[in-house]
Amino acid sequence: MYRLQSLAARSLIAGALDQCSPLTLTSLTGVRHKSQGPSVEKCGQMRFLTAEAKAAAGRLEGKLREKTLTLDTLNPQVKAVEYAVRGPIVIKAGEIERYLEEGGTKPFSEVIKANIGDAHAMGQQPITFLRQVVALCTFPELMDSPSFPEDAKWRARRILQGCGGHSLGSYSASPGVECIRKDIAAYIEQRDEGVPSDWENIYLTTGASDGIMTILRLLVSGKDSSRTGVMIPIPQYPLYSAAISEMDAVQVNYYLDEDNCWALDINELYRAYQAAKLHCQPRVICIINPGNPTGRYIDNVYTPDCQFHSFKKVLYEMGPEYFNSVELASFHSTSKGYTGECGFRGGYMEVINMDPEVKAQMVKLLSVRLCPPLAGQAAMDVIVNPPQPDEHSYKQFRQEKSSVLGALADKAKLTEQILNAVPGIKCNPVQGAMYAFPRIFIPPKAVEEAKALGMQPDMFYCLRLLEETGICVVPGSGFGQKDGTYHFRMTILPSIEKLKVLLGKVRDFHIRFLKEYSALE
Amino acid sequence: MYRLQSLAARSLIAGALDQCSPLTLTSLTGVRHKSQGPSVEKCGQMRFLTAEAKAAAGRLEGKLREKTLTLDTLNPQVKAVEYAVRGPIVIKAGEIERYLEEGGTKPFSEVIKANIGDAHAMGQQPITFLRQVVALCTFPELMDSPSFPEDAKWRARRILQGCGGHSLGSYSASPGVECIRKDIAAYIEQRDEGVPSDWENIYLTTGASDGIMTILRLLVSGKDSSRTGVMIPIPQYPLYSAAISEMDAVQVNYYLDEDNCWALDINELYRAYQAAKLHCQPRVICIINPGNPTGRYIDNVYTPDCQFHSFKKVLYEMGPEYFNSVELASFHSTSKGYTGECGFRGGYMEVINMDPEVKAQMVKLLSVRLCPPLAGQAAMDVIVNPPQPDEHSYKQFRQEKSSVLGALADKAKLTEQILNAVPGIKCNPVQGAMYAFPRIFIPPKAVEEAKALGMQPDMFYCLRLLEETGICVVPGSGFGQKDGTYHFRMTILPSIEKLKVLLGKVRDFHIRFLKEYSALE
C-alpha cells in the first residue's frame, strides 16, 4: 500500500535525477495518493511508473552523484561578498564561547561582543510603551486589560484598523500599512521643521538594509555592459560593499577625513567621482554622513554643540531647483536610535523626486516580497508617534528614553577618554550612534607577521585581542580605511562597568602588543 | 548661526550634485555643527566652503536636472519582473474600493478580494496559543499575568532564553534562534516518521519567499555567460518567475497534467529538460507539487484518500545513494497552513547535502540581511511545537485548528461543486491549501476582443468580472497555463456565506459572458 506512493515518488525522483541531476529545490511538498487503481488517475499527483522507477533507480545504483552547487559553480557575485560585521572574528568568538561553556579555559571568563550594534543583547532595556503597543497588536484580547494604558491601546487599535481583518497576521500593502506611512510622513515634517513630506513617498521596509538593497537593485543591472558606480564613504557600513558585490556594481570610494573628525571633504568627493568616470558610470552617492562605523543618528547626538539636520531639509533650503529635482532616498529603522529594536526588523525609506514610472516598478519589486513584517511596522509607528506630553505614558517614556541616551553619552565620553590615553591609539569624539572607530598603530614587525600569515594587519590585531582578552571587535579593514592606517570598530553598548573592563583590557593588550613588537621600551 | 550649517551643507550638496548629478542615496543623515570657528575643524562633518557653495549653486541656477533613474535607465531585470498576484487586477480593485468609499456607485456594494491567500484579511481568526506566546515574548511583563497559560509561558521563556539579552529586540544569529532551529528539526523528524533532520541544516527565513530567493541567488549569477535554467511547474506561484526574471536566469516550464488533477508527468519533465539543455544549463527543479495555485500543504489535506509525504522522506526510502547526495531545499512558512500568519513573515528552509563551503557562503549571504524578524521566528516555533495532549492549551488549540481546517474543507468542496455546475467552467478537486484554479472557456469572439485590446484573454475576463461583480481573482496567465487554455486563481478563504455569494456571482457572470459572445443560446 505505502510502497505504491514511494514507488510512484521514486519513478518521479529517480527518473528526474537520473536525467537531470540538478539541485532539487522544492517548496512545500504535497500529498500523494493512498490507494491504487482508477483513483490514482483521478487524484494521483504523478503517473504510476514502477517499471521506469526501477529502471531509473537501477541506472543509479552505486553511482555517486556530483554536487550541482560547489564553490566553483557558486554565483561568483555571492563569493565576492564580504561582510565583516559577522565575519571570521565573530565566528571565532562563537567558537571560543562554546569552548568556555564546555569547560575550556582561557585567560578570560567570558567573550564580550562589541562587534555589532545589538543594543538589547548588551543589556539595554526595551522602551515599555513600544512593547506594550506591539503586544496589544499581537494579542488584542489585552485591550480589556487594565494594566495597559489607554494611549497604548488607542495606538494599537489604530494600527489594527489599518490591517486586513484587523489582524497583524494579514499581509499589508507592499509599501506598508497606510496609517503608519502617514504617521511617518508627519514625523518627517516635524523633524524637518515643516518641510513637506508626502506619505505616498514612504515605504516600510524589513530593517534599513532591505530598503537600501531595493533602491540599489533599481539602479544596478548586474550586466557587464552598464557598469554602475556606487559612491560610498570610507569607512562605510559593509552592507553597502556587500550589496555592491552581490549586484556586480562598481564600488567607488570617497575617503572621509579622519583628522577632521571624519569630515566629508567635497574635494575628495570630486576626486573620487572624476576617477570613477574613467571606468564606470557613477550613478549613486551614499551619504552615511559618516553614520556607521562612526555614526550619528537622529536622537543619538551626544556632542552638545552638534544637532541633527536631514539632507532633505537642506535640499529644501537650497531652493526648488534642488528640492524638486534631486532624487533622494533616506532610510531609518527600529534597530538603532534609542529603541535598539533590531530583532523587529522594522524600517522605512522616504523617496523623493523618483520618476513615477520607476516608482511603479519599485512597488512591483516590493510586492514580490509581499510586505515587511507587521510587528516591525507597528514598532516603527511607535517610534514616529511616541507618547505626547499630555498623555499618560509620556513621563515613563521620556524617562526611559533619556536614560538610554544619557548612558550612551557617558559611554561615548568614557570610550574616547580611555582610548586616547593609550599610546598608539587615537579615537575621534564619538558624537553619536553607538560606535567608536579608533585608529590603532600597528608596529611594522606585526604588519610583516600578519602579511606572512596572509592576513590584514588589523584582522591579525583583532584576532589576537579576541584570543587574549575575549573582546570581540571588528577590524577596520572590514569597513575600509586609508591604506597604511588601521582601525577597529567597537560598540559602546556594554554597561559602564563592563565597558570600563573592556577598555582597560584593550589598553593593556595594546601596550603588550606594542612591547612585543618592540615599538615601546 | 543656522546659515552656517546650511551653507556648509550647500557647499557639499550643490557641489556634489553639480559635479556628479547622480541619484543621492542617503542612509540616516547626521549632525551638522552649530557654531563657526576652530570647532568646525574639530567636529564639523564637512569643510566649510561658502565660496565653492555659492559658485556651485550659481552654476545650477535655473538649470533643470535630468532624472538619473528613468524607465530607460532602470535595471532591465526589474522591468522584466511580473507578479500577477499583486498586478493590474489588484491595483484596479483598490481603485474601485476607493471609488465606492467616496460614494461612487457600481452594480455591487463591495469588492471581494479572492486574489491572495491572506487568511486573516478574509476573517480567519488567529490561533490563540500562537498569539499568546508571541505576545509573551514581546512583553515579558505578561509572564506574571494569570490570564496566560503556563504552557504558553514556558515556550515564551524558552524562546527568550535563546535571544540575546533575553529580548525579541536583539538580532538572532543569521540562521535563526538555535532552540527554534532545534524544534524545527525535531518537528521534521516526526513529520517524516523518523527520517533524521539536523538542526544545523535549518535556516529561519523572512517568509518562504526569502528562503527561495536566497537559494536561487546562490545558483544564478545574472551573467549572460552562465545561463542557469530553473525548471518550474506550470501553473506556478509567480514568485518563481519573478525571481528568475530579477536574477536574469532562464525559466524552464514543465507543464502539470490538468486532466489528471494537475499530476506531475515524468515524461513531460524529461521533455522540458531535454528542450532546455539546447539553450541553457538547467540546474534547479522547483517542485511545488503543484502547491500553488492549486496547492496542498502539510496540514491542509482535504481529500480523505490523500495524505502528505515529504520529498525528503521519499529520498530516504530510495536509499543512501539518493538521501546522501541529492541537494534538496524545502521551505515552510507561518503564512499558510492553518495559522495563516502572513504578516509575521516567519518561515524556514531545510537544506540537505549542500557542499559545506557553499553553506558557509550562504550563511555569509544571510548575514548581510542580519536576521529574520524575531516575532516571525517565535510564531514559527509555535507551529512546529504546538500544545501537546497533556498540556492545558491543547483542547482549545485542537478545536481552533480543526475548525479552521474543517471550514476550509467545506469551502473546497463547495467551490468545486458550484463551479463544475457552470457551463464552460471545469474545476479540479481542491485537495488542499486555499486555492482553486478553475479552467474557463473563453469564446473566440471574446479572445479576439481581448487581443484587439492587447490583453491576455483571461486578464480581459477577470477585469470584466471585477468591473461587473466586484470579485477580484487573478488571471491564469499570471501563473502560466497551456497555450489556448484559460484559468483564474481564486482563494477559498471567504466565509461560507460570502463564498456562496461570490460563486453565484461568478456563475451568473460567466453565463452572461458566454451569451454576450454568443457561445450560448
B36 touches chain A (CB under 8 A): no
Write the pLDDT tens digit of every residue in B309-324.
Answer: 788 888 898 899 889 8
B225 touches chain A (CB under 8 A): no
A420 touches chain B (CB under 8 A): no
Cβ–Cβ of B326/A24 closer than 8 Å? Answer: yes
Question: Is the confidence at residue B308, as pLDDT, over 80?
Answer: no
Residue A434: its pLDDT value, please?
80
Burial of B166 (0-12, 13-18, 19+ CB in 10 A): middle
Residue B293: its pLDDT value, please?
54
Question: Is the confidence at residue B266, as pLDDT, over 80?
Answer: yes
Which residues of chain B does A331 touch, with a Cβ-Cβ cutoff of 8 Å? 26-28
Question: Is the confidence at residue A90, as pLDDT, over 50?
Answer: yes
Work out the average pLDDT over B56-83: 65
* Beta partners for residue B252, in sequence order: B231
Question: Is the confidence at residue B51, as pLDDT, over 80?
Answer: no
- Which residue in A has a C-alpha nearest to residue B364's C-alpha? A83
To probe the interface with A, which of B177, B317, B368 has the most A CB atoms within 10 Å? B368
**Cα B77 from chain centre:** 19
Question: Is the confidence at residue A20, as pLDDT, over 60?
Answer: no
Hey, what amino acid is at B34? K
**Is A25 within 8 Å of B284 (Cβ atoms)?**
yes
Planar angle of CA B442, B504, B422, nearest 5 degrees: 45
Residue A400's pLDDT band (boundaries 50, 70, 90)? very high
Residue B5: its pLDDT value, please?
39
At B19, list the grid cell: 559635479
Mean pLDDT check: name the lowest of A156-160, B60-64, B446-450: B60-64
At B262, list the grid cell: 494537475
Cα–Cα distance, B117 to B302 (Å, whole number)? 17
Burial of B514 (0-12, 13-18, 19+ CB in 10 A): buried
Cα–Cα distance, B439 to B224 (Å, whole number)? 37
Of residues B75 and B279, more confidence is placed in B279
Residue B98: its pLDDT value, please?
87
B102 touches chain A (CB under 8 A): no
Cβ–Cβ of A289/B26 closer than 8 Å? Answer: yes
Cβ–Cβ of A206/B373 closer than 8 Å? Answer: yes
A288 touches chain B (CB under 8 A): yes
Residue B450: its pLDDT value, please?
93
Question: Is the confidence at residue B85, as pLDDT, over 90?
Answer: no
Residue B50: its pLDDT value, please?
36
Cβ–Cβ of B325/A242 closer than 8 Å? Answer: no
Question: Which residue is listed with cell 524562546?
Answer: B159
Of residues A51 and B179, more confidence is placed in B179
Write the pLDDT tens digit of every residue in B107-133.
Answer: 899 888 888 888 898 888 999 999 999
- Dihedral sign for Cα B293, B296, B300, B302, please: positive
Highest-scoring range by mean pLDDT, A25-34, A247-256, B135-144, B497-506: B135-144
Cα–Cα distance, A217 to A244 (Å, whole number)? 10
According to DSSP, residue B200 is labeled G
User: Which is it for strands A228-234 and B486-491: parallel, antiparallel or unpaired?
Assistant: unpaired
Write the pLDDT tens digit of every residue in B275-285.
Answer: 999 988 888 88
Neighbouring C-beta atoms of residue A518, cutoff 10 Å: 11
Question: Is the confidence at residue B47, as pLDDT, over 80?
Answer: no
Work out the average pLDDT over B495-508: 92
* Beta partners for residue B307, in sequence order: A32
At A477, list the grid cell: 579593514
Query: What is the ipTM for the molecules in this complex?
Result: 0.85
> For residue B75, how many C-alpha atoms fall within 13 Å in the half-sphere facing its CB?
30
Mean pLDDT check: name the lowest of A226-230, B240-244, B420-424: A226-230
Question: Is the confidence at residue A178, as pLDDT, over 60?
Answer: yes
State chain A's mean pLDDT as an integer. 82
Question: Is the confidence at residue B30, as pLDDT, over 60?
Answer: no
At A268, list the grid cell: 575628495
Neighbouring C-beta atoms of residue B189, cutoff 10 Å: 14
Work out the average pLDDT over A25-42: 36
Residue B380: its pLDDT value, please?
97
Which residues of chain A does B67 touch, with a Cβ-Cβ cutoff of 8 Å? 325, 327, 353-355
Q: Which of A47, A138, A303, A319 is nearest to B156 (CA)?
A: A138
At B472, list the grid cell: 477580484
Work out the average pLDDT over B66-81: 77
A209 touches chain B (CB under 8 A): yes
Hey, what amino acid is at A223? K
Size of interface A-B (CB pairs under 8 A): 652
**Cα B286 from chain centre:** 15
Q: Which of B415, B453, B454 is nearest to B431 (CA)?
A: B415
Q: Which of B467, B394, B60, B85 is nearest to A322 (CA)?
A: B60
Residue B29: its pLDDT value, please?
38
B407 touches chain A (CB under 8 A): no
Strands (E), A146-201: none
**Is B229 within 8 Å of B210 (Cβ atoms)?**
no
**Is B246 within 8 Å of B491 (Cβ atoms)?**
no
Reported as type and span, the H/E element at residue A290 is none
Neighbouring C-beta atoms of residue A405, cutoff 10 Å: 17
Residue A54's pLDDT band (boundaries 50, 70, 90)? very low
User: Which is it for strands B486-491 and B439-440: parallel, antiparallel or unpaired?
Assistant: antiparallel
Residue B305: its pLDDT value, please?
61
Mean pLDDT check: name the lowest of A182-191, A288-297, B127-136, B386-395: A288-297
Work out the average pLDDT over B322-328: 88
A6 touches chain B (CB under 8 A): yes
* Beta partners for residue B367, in sequence order: none
Residue A113: its pLDDT value, please?
85
- Distance in Å, alpha carbon of B234 to nearest chain A alpha carbon: 14
Residue B310: its pLDDT value, please?
82
User: Which is it for strands B228-234 and B281-287: parallel, antiparallel or unpaired?
Assistant: parallel
Which residues are CB-contacts of A323 (< 8 A; sequence separation ≥ 6)? A315, A316
Cβ–Cβ of B24/A147 closer than 8 Å? Answer: no
Strands (E), A245-314: 250-255, 281-287, 306-308
A200 touches chain B (CB under 8 A): no
Residue A450: its pLDDT value, please?
93
> For residue B195, how many C-alpha atoms fall within 13 Å in the half-sphere facing its CB?
18
Cβ–Cβ of B318/A120 closer than 8 Å? Answer: no
Cα–Cα distance, A139 to A131 (Å, whole number)? 12
Write the pLDDT tens digit of every residue in B279-304.
Answer: 888 888 888 753 555 444 645 556 65
At A183, list the grid cell: 504617521
According to DSSP, residue A171 is labeled P
Of residues A376 and B6, more confidence is placed in A376
When CB atoms are compared, the residue of B120, B322, B329 closest to A164 is B120
Residue B34: its pLDDT value, please?
35
The interface residues of chain B toward chain A in range 62-81, judged by CB-CB distance below 8 A, are 62-65, 67-71, 73-79, 81
Burial of A64 (0-12, 13-18, 19+ CB in 10 A): exposed
Angle of the B128-138 helix axis to the B374-384 helix axis, nearest 10: 140
Residue B383's pLDDT band (boundaries 50, 70, 90)? very high
Of residues B425 and A85, more confidence is placed in B425
- Dihedral sign for Cα B442, B444, B448, B454, please: positive
Question: Which residue is listed with cell 469564446?
Answer: B443
A246 touches chain B (CB under 8 A): yes
Cβ–Cβ of A343/B15 closer than 8 Å? Answer: no
Cα–Cα distance, A359 to B441 (Å, whole number)? 36
Write the pLDDT tens digit of every residue in A193-223.
Answer: 999 999 999 999 998 888 988 998 888 865 6
Work out the average pLDDT over A106-112: 89
Cα–Cα distance, B470 to A73 (Å, whole number)? 49
Question: Is the confidence at residue A501, as pLDDT, over 80?
Answer: yes
Cα–Cα distance, A465 to A454 (Å, whole number)? 18
Percent of chain B beyond pLDDT 70?
81
Question: Is the confidence at residue A275, as pLDDT, over 50?
Answer: yes
Mean pLDDT check: name the lowest of A503-512, B82-91, B128-137: B82-91
Cβ–Cβ of B309/A32 closer than 8 Å? Answer: yes
**Is A344 within 8 Å of B169 (Cβ atoms)?**
yes
Cα–Cα distance, B101 to B107 (Å, whole number)? 14
Percent of chain A beyond pLDDT 70?
81
Question: Is the confidence at residue B193, as pLDDT, over 70?
Answer: yes
**Is B48 within 8 Å of B8 (Cβ atoms)?**
yes
Write the pLDDT tens digit of every residue in B334-377.
Answer: 987 789 999 999 999 999 999 898 898 898 888 888 899 999 99
Mean pLDDT check: name the lowest of B55-59, B66-70, B135-139, B155-159: B55-59
Which residues of chain A does B364 touch, with a Cβ-Cβ cutoff of 8 Å? 78, 81, 83, 86-87
Question: Which residue is listed with cell 541633527?
Answer: A308
- Dihedral sign for Cα A330, A336, A338, A342, please: positive
Work out the average pLDDT over A359-373: 88
Question: Is the confidence at residue A245, as pLDDT, over 60?
Answer: yes
**Is A284 within 8 Å of A329 (Cβ atoms)?**
no
Of residues A362 and B47, more confidence is placed in A362
Question: Is the confidence at residue A438, as pLDDT, over 80?
Answer: yes
Which residues are CB-contacts of B206 (< 8 A; sequence separation ≥ 6)? A206, A345, A369, A373, B345, B346, B347, B369, B372, B373, B376
Question: Is the confidence at residue B60, as pLDDT, over 70?
Answer: no
Residue A65: its pLDDT value, please?
61
